[in-house]
């Protein structure tokens, strides 16, 4: 139990998956050392120790590991990880980038896809969308579009369960390949990005919103039923002004 908590809450954020695997392999050397010190068949433990050291040396680095898992054989990519998940950006063509969350492609950059329409529609239909909430950051497209009513929308709270997603967007925004709309979105004081499970956050807080937009998961994603459900929509209705 202590080991799982150490890995899940500390090491994945501190060292990432690649670094954590190396540390676990090195920890195995402790048992090999005990065998060399106390067992009669020392050759077996010496071979085990050599194998562990070889695996530590051969294990790929953080970026190489996740590039392989995502299928990024070549081309530029951005990857971030902590205990809440893995976020990545990969170039699709000359102008577009794919946004990945926990191994699944969720959206694209630059802004202007279907997510723009999904984000803007609630604000355009509501007569006075002063306070808005968006569940799911992704590329930031939906959240950005939800604040299209600059004359009316004073604040937009964005709930994102995968913390590296925000880090990834800020890192990309600082790169030469970024887009002005992304930088303006991240610098806009009206937007507040909260690392939290959107459904849980709405259930725990008493704040009311004029619009609540959910664009976190496609319906075929695992656990999407927690959001595309009568109970979740009832919760959202109870948080409307």
Over residues 30-46, the pLDDT tens digits come to: 999 898 888 888 888 99
Q: What is the pTM of this model?
A: 0.90
In tens, the pLDDT along 110-146 reads 999 899 999 999 999 999 999 999 999 999 999 999 9
pLDDT of residue 222: 81
What pLDDT, on the 0 to 100 scale, is given for residue 37? Answer: 87
Percent of residues in the chain assigned helix, strand, coil, to nearest 5: 50, 20, 30
C-alpha to C-alpha distance for 82 and 67, rounded to whole angstroms:
16
Mean pLDDT, the chain, rounded, equals 93
CA-wise closest residue to 156 among 175, 177, 141: 141
Place of tokens 């694209």: 108
Q: How many CA atoms lie within 13 A of 43 on its CB side?
A: 0
Q: What's the pLDDT at 221?
A: 82
Q: Over the stretch 47-99, which tens digit does the pLDDT of each residue have?
A: 999 999 999 999 999 999 999 999 998 889 999 999 999 999 999 988 999 99
- For 130, residues 6+ apart whose C-beta sits below 8 A from its C-beta are 152, 153, 154, 155, 210
Phi, psi of 162 (to 5 degrees): -100, 100
């Amino acid at each position: 139990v202590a080991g799982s908590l150490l890995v899940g809450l500390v090491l994945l954020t501190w060292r990432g998956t690649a670094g954590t695997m190396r540390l676990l392999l090195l920890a195995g050397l402790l048992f090999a050392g005990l065998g060399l010190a106390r067992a009669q068949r020392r050759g077996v433990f010496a071979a085990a120790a050599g194998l562990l050291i070889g695996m530590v040396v051969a294990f790929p680095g953080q970026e190489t590991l996740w590039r392989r898992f995502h299928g990024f054989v070549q081309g530029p990519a951005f990857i971030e990880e902590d205990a809440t998940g893995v976020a990545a950006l990969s170039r699709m063509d000359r102008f577009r980038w794919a946004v990945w969350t926990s191994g699944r492609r969720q959206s694209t950059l630059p802004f202007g896809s279907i997510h723009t329409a999904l984000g803007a529609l609630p604000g355009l239909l509501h007569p006075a969308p002063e306070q808005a909430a968006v569940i799911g950051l992704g590329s930031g497209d939906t959240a950005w579009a939800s604040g299209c009513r600059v004359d009316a929308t004073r604040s937009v709270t964005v709930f994102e369960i995968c913390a590296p997603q925000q880090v990834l967007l800020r890192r990309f925004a600082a790169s030469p390949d970024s887009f002005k709309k992304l930088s303006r979105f991240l610098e806009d004081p009206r937007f507040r990005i909260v690392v939290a499970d959107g459904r849980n956050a709405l259930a725990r807080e008493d704040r009311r919103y004029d619009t609540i937009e959910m664009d976190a998961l496609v319906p075929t994603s695992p656990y999407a039923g927690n959001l595309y459900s009568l109970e979740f929509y009832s919760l959202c209705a109870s948080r409307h002004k």
